[in-house]
Amino acid sequence: MNAPAVMQKWLEGVVVDQKRWTERLFSLRVNAEIAGFEAGQFAKLALAINSEMVARPYSFVNAPRERPHEFYYVTLPDGPLTQRLCKLEAGDTIYLAPRPSGFLVLSEVPASAKLWLIATGTGIGPFLSILKTDAPWQRFKYVVLVHAVRHANELTYRDTIEGLLARHAGQMRAVSFVSRGETAGSLHGRVPAAIEDGSLEAAARLTLSAEDSHVMLCGNPEMVGDTTEMLRRRGMRKHRRREPGHITLENYW
Ligand code: NAP
């Protein structure tokens, strides 16, 4: 018997495990034979809900050579998909679109001395995938990872970040922000204000300028917009293939 038409464009994957970081933050690991991807891209994950496929894009956290595939997500109170994703267990079936896509990738980034990867919340996922590849370390003199969250317990993937810092000592800097509450070792507040007053550069021990930096932004669209505006005041503009610039971005919603 033929599978229903709606099913044919989806590949079947198998859940390996699920990590619960907080009430709302989860990492789902999946084995699936999807096409190759570049670090920074996303897959579409889907579940059949009331006999319809409901799909959303989720960035890979794993590097292209790593298996299983890993996706970091936040549950949304009324989200039909995330409320089901978070209940999946090892061995459960999940559907994936066969071809990953997305432009938050280093092959779209022009040469510069410093690469700044600035994320809020789950937007750190694609940057971890990028940092687990060789390309950033071969192409940039310095790489700065910035993770901005509301609360300290949302500063996830600390072991991964510590491992990267140890492997790339001298070349990598990591800066975290906690906006709601004071946390030792993290800046307080938001990224755009910290660019404006110089505290981000001070924490990274590096300067941020149009002459020597490229910035990738991922996460909350308001952070992406406000940070782009702050960088514009420093003479930086969005990068386009036909008009090279200094900012590459992905809005998460
Ligand atoms: P969030 O509200 O995105 O906040 C994360 C960090 O970004 C916080 O430190 C926050 O600071 C900061 N931020 C917010 N607006 C900013 C701006 N204009 N400029 C600079 N920084 C800014 O929190 P989250 O927990 O990661 O995500 C929460 C909500 O995002 C979810 O509940 C959901 O509504 C939405 N979301 C939707 C999707 C989707 O696919 N639909 C995916 C992910 C998240 P403050 O604490 O000062 O606000």
Question: Distance from the CA of 220 to the center of ligand 1, in angstroms?
Answer: 5
Amino acid 4: pLDDT: 53
Nearest C-alpha to atom 33 of ligand 1 is from which residue? 76
Question: Distance from the CA of 120 to the center of ligand 1, in angstroms?
Answer: 7
Structure tokens belonging to residue 86: 């978070």
Nearest C-alpha to atom 47 of ligand 1 is from which residue? 179
Amino acid 218: pLDDT: 98
Q: Select from 21, 27, 56, 190 the residue to mutate for testing ligand 1; criterion: most ligand atoms less than 8 Å from CB.
A: 190
Q: Select from 218, 220, 251 the residue to mutate for testing ligand 1; criterion: most ligand atoms less than 8 Å from CB.
A: 220
Are the C-beta atoms of residues 220 and 120 closer than 8 Å to each other?
Answer: yes
Nearest ligand 1 atom to alpha carbon 149: 9
Q: What is the CA radius of gyration of the chain?
A: 19
Q: Select from 44, 58, 120 the residue to mutate for testing ligand 1; criterion: most ligand atoms less than 8 Å from CB.
A: 120
Nearest C-alpha to atom 45 of ligand 1 is from which residue? 179
Nearest C-alpha to atom 36 of ligand 1 is from which residue? 253
Between the alpha carbon of residue 46 and those of residues 57, 60, 82, the distances in Å are 9, 15, 10
Amino acid 56: pLDDT: 97
Question: Distance from the CA of 231 to the center of ligand 1, in angstroms?
Answer: 20
CA atoms within 13 A on the CB side of 197: 9
Amino acid 1: pLDDT: 46
At 10 the three-state DSSP class reads coil
Question: Distance from the CA of 152 to the center of ligand 1, in angstroms?
Answer: 14
22/42 Cα distance (integer angstroms): 23
136/150 Cα distance (integer angstroms): 28
Nearest C-alpha to atom 3 of ligand 1 is from which residue? 220
41-89 tens-digit pLDDT: 999 999 999 999 999 999 999 999 999 999 999 999 999 999 999 999 9
Ranges of residues in the chain with a pLDDT under 70 are 1-8
**Ligand 1 environment, Cβ below 6 A:** 74, 76, 120-122, 148-150, 177, 179-180, 190-192, 220, 222-223, 226, 252-253
CA atoms within 13 A on the CB side of 172: 23
Q: Please enumerate in sequence order all residues whose Cβ is within 8 A of that of 168, keeping only pairs 6 or more positions apart, or say none.
A: 137, 143
Question: Distance from the CA of 64 to the center of ligand 1, in angstroms?
Answer: 27
Nearest C-alpha to atom 40 of ligand 1 is from which residue? 253
Are the C-beta atoms of residues 230 and 190 closer than 8 Å to each other?
Answer: no
Amino acid 8: pLDDT: 56
201/101 Cα distance (integer angstroms): 32
Between the alpha carbon of residue 88 and those of residues 28, 43, 46, the distances in Å are 9, 17, 12
